[in-house]
């Protein structure tokens, strides 16, 4: 009989959950980064997102969950023709640039880092292999942009069979309609959306329940 993880508590057990941090990089999050320069968007909300992710990641690590960082590198030499045509100009997340660097938070030595060249963290990367090697069944999604790289990654993860949980106060986008649309789609068709405070409580409870009793 198949073991269906049909509750959030079961899905979030640290033994089979990975925290995924998507594209927390200067070009997507910082004043003076690519998105800010090209669109003049308000970037101030990304500070709170980064701080919330940092707290959630610290809890995940203590619980023994892998923390996986996705990092975009968008030099044209890596991109498909359609991606180049849509972008129109090179200059976002270029190798060796300030823009490709992490925004406010960064991986710790025990974390995993996966470089990607398109919106989905699975396309052309070892992400699926790494997750399977760690026994992961659930992806706890954070990062930016909710409606672009977070969305693309969580959808493909769902199609590959992972349970999807989105930390609502740990994702963001300069496109509010797109942000809201992705969260609505996840709630209705894909997985669960909830705040980091509830997630931290569930992760800590799950870790305590599976921790061996002291001798």
Catalytic residue (choose from 27, 29, 116, 170) = 116
23, 27, 93, 151: the active-site residue: 23
Cα–Cα distances (Å) from 208 to 62, 67, 111, in that order, read 11, 19, 22
The question of whether 93 is a catalytic residue gets the answer no
Q: Are strands 138-144 and 112-116 parallel, antiparallel or unpaired?
A: unpaired
CA distance 69 to 120: 13
Under a CB-based contact definition with an 8 Å cutoff, are residues 22 and 70 in contact? Answer: yes
* Buried/exposed code over 154-167 (b: 16+ C-beta within 10 A; e: otherwise): bbbbbeeebbbbbb
> Catalytic annotation on 149?
yes
Residue 118 annotated in active site: no
* Residue in 92, 118, 149, 170 annotated catalytic: 149
Residue positions annotated with a catalytic role:
23, 116, 149
């Amino acid at each position: 009989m198949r073991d269906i993880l049909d509750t959030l508590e079961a899905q979030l057990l640290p033994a089979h959950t990975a925290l995924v941090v998507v594209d927390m990089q200067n070009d997507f999050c910082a004043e003076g980064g690519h998105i800010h320069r090209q669109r003049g968007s308000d970037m101030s909300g990304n500070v709170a997102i980064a701080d919330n992710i940092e707290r959630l990641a610290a809890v995940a690590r203590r619980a023994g969950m892998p923390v996986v960082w996705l990092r975009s590198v968008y030099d044209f030499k890596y991109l498909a023709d359609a991606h180049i045509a849509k972008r129109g100009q090179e200059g976002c997340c270029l190798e060796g640039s300030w823009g490709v660097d992490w925004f406010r938070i960064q991986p710790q030595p025990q974390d995993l880092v996966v470089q990607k060249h398109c919106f989905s963290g699975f396309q052309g990367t070892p992400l699926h292999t790494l997750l399977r090697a760690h026994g992961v069944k659930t992806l706890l999604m954070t990062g930016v942009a909710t409606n672009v790289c977070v969305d693309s990654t969580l959808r493909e993860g769902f199609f590959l069979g992972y349970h999807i949980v989105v930390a609502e106060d740990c994702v963001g986008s300069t496109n509010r309609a797109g942000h809201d649309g992705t969260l609505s789609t996840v709630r209705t068709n894909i997985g669960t959306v909830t705040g980091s405070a509830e997630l931290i409580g569930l992760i800590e409870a799950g870790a305590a329940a599976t921790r061996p009793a002291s001798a």
